[in-house]
Amino acid sequence: MYRVVIIGTGRIFQKHFQSIKSLKKRFKIVGVFDKKLSRNLKSSILCGVPIYNNYDDLIRDTKPDIVTILVESGNHLKVCKDIIKKHNTKNFIIEKPLDVSTKKIINFNNFIKHKKVNIFTVKQNRFNKAVIKAKDMIDKNLIGSIFMISASCKWRREQSYYNQDSWRGKRNFDGGVLMNQAIHHIDLLIYLAGEVDSVVGYGDTRFINIQSENIAVAAMRFKNKSVGILEATTATSPKDYEGSVTIMGSKGTIKIGGFASNKLDFVSNVYKTKINLRKYNSKIGNVYGHGHLEFYKYVNSFLIGKVKKNKFDVRQAFKSVELVECIVKSFKSKNKIKLECLSSIS
């Protein structure tokens, strides 16, 4: 059984806490760090799990096997690096994005290169039944060669959302719709269609007062010569509307729909493959979905040796952050941007 501590108690905390608790034969939560001491926590929820307001004390007292980091995105790697230096912890689960800066990710990767540290960046939508089915069909060449892929993140975040914390909407700590919300859909673009070669983007901030964009579009060319389109906004009215990905190949088309990529909306190919779409639909209560539970199962499988390659490591996390940076750079410079930094991550 792996001993786990959670650092950070924001909006996503409950998904992690409940997922770990559901896997009680594999994981045990031995402590939680909350710098504001119970802003989001109640004793009835924690069921006796101790709360600390100093994560050094938490690590020293509990000696965890795994540290889950849920602080503001711009401090993910700062906290992780600090814990490695002081406590030599080896396994970290870090919420998306890994960080908001490719420069910081490259520096961090160099820091851990010879330390035998495992980093698992949360990309829970890869575990949605619809996404699993789409990936399987693509890998089996059932829709032929992909020539176009599009993703749409149309959600709503009002000013009150950003007013919850001083770091929300700040470029260096949170980012805008691309780094915070559409990072899920950007990951699926890359996961399903491959690495991106170049991108042109446009973005703006409307209706709210934040540093970063809440509206963005991008057109991209993939290294396999396919093209892609991204639409992203948190200004959808009056509520979250869509989180979809459509993949078009030379022999078929797949659409993953729902408001969090949780439904298989459409499948058609020249082979007339019969698919029960309802089988791959998941009922969810919010945009977080149910993938965190499966993510923790994956981490367990990797740590016990059932899975040999970590598909959520620093290199994989870097790809999404680099693309976001390039889209933002494009709409600020009004130029096409070529992605060139991935070679820095080995």
- Cβ atoms within 10 Å, residue 106: 16
pLDDT digits (tens, 9 = 90+) for 102-152: 999 999 999 999 999 999 999 999 999 999 999 999 999 999 999 999 999
**Rounded Cα distance, 169 and 178, in Å:** 11
Looking at residue 43, what is its pLDDT? 52
HSE-up (13 A, CA, CB side) for residue 227: 4
293 or 47, which is more confident: 293
User: Count of CB atoms within 10 A of residue 271's CB?
Assistant: 12
Quick one: average pLDDT of 62-76?
98
Over 90: is that where the pLDDT of 191 sits?
yes
Q: How confident is the model at residue 304 (pLDDT cuts 50, 70, 90)?
A: very high
- What class is the 2-123 domain? alpha beta
pLDDT per residue as tens digits for the range 327-345: 999 999 999 999 987 666 7
Residue 285: per-residue pLDDT: 84
pLDDT, tens digit (0-9, with 9 covering 90-100), for 243-290: 999 999 999 999 999 999 999 999 999 999 999 999 999 988 888 999
Q: What percentage of residues in the chain have a pLDDT greater than 90?
A: 90
In the predicted model, is pLDDT for residue 180 greater than 90?
yes
Closest CA to 193 of 220, 215, 216, 217: 220
3-state class (DSSP) for residue 272: coil
DSSP result, 84-106: HHHH---EEEEPSSS-S-HHHHH
Give pLDDT, residue 113: 93
Residue range(s) occupied by CATH 3.40.50.720 in the chain:
2-123
CATH class assigned to 125-261+312-338: alpha beta
Judged against a pLDDT cut of 80, whether residue 69 lies above it is answered with yes
Alpha-carbon span 234 to 216, nearest angstrom: 10
> φ and ψ at 120, to 5 degrees?
-120, 110
Q: What is the mean pLDDT of the chain?
A: 94
- pLDDT computed for residue 44 by the predictor: 44
pLDDT of residue 46: 72
Q: What is the DSSP string of 132-194?
A: HHHHHHHHTTTT-SEEEEEEEEE-B--HHHHTTSTTTT-TTTT--HHHHTTHHHHHHHHHHH-
Predicted pLDDT at 39: 53
- The CATH 3.30.360.10 domain(s) of the chain lie at 125-261+312-338
What is the band of 38 on the pLDDT scale with cuts at 50, 70, 90? low
Strand, helix or coil at 27?
strand
